[in-house]
Amino acid sequence: MDYNLYVYHVGEDDAKKCTARKLAKFGLVKIVKKANLLPKKAILLNPLAKKALSKEDKHIINIVAIDCSWKNVEEFFKNFKHKFFSRSLPYLIAVNPTNYGKPFMLSTVEALSATLYIFGEEERARNLLSKFKWGLNFLEINEMPLNDYKKAKNSKEIIEAMKEYL
């Protein structure tokens, strides 16, 4: 399926470390600076969402990541009022230089790639990550959980698979 990748860019992070901007340079994501310009029917990657992303969401072709500082993530999502299909990603280990080795604290490229991988779009996930010298390590370090999550049919099965890694 041809997924549309959007990044709502809040501008809180160091521009030199911003994975979303680099992806946009390659034409791999569309950066949006006003929330009202985001597509209405979209998956919002929200680390605070109660429902986990799974294959049951793969029919939704618009995927939105928020590029904001992890320091402000709770405040941001608490105040973000737009209606989307809000989904959290399961347990994965970050390999980006800022949060290396920390579970759940993924960069924008890691979050989008994990989503694509779970939806069975491994090559596209690999393509996004290949733009960063550390990027493909994300797939290596998270190979087992990503493959388990990809097999899961729904959010409940994702949660069950995730328990193996916690």
Residues contacting 47, CB < 8 A, separation 6+: 73, 77, 88, 89, 104
Q: Are 31 and 21 in contact (CB under 8 A)?
A: yes
The answer to which of 41-55, 57-71, 121-135, 141-155 has the lowest mean pLDDT is 57-71
The parent domain of residue 20 ranges over 4-163
Tens digits of per-residue pLDDT, 89-127? Answer: 999 999 999 999 999 999 999 999 999 999 999 999 999
Residue 17 has pLDDT above 90, yes or no: no
d(CA 2, CA 82) in angstroms, rounded, equals: 24
Number of independent structural domains in the chain: 1
pLDDT at 14: 62
Beta strand 30-32 pairing with 4-9:
parallel
Tens digits of per-residue pLDDT, 48-58? Answer: 999 999 999 99
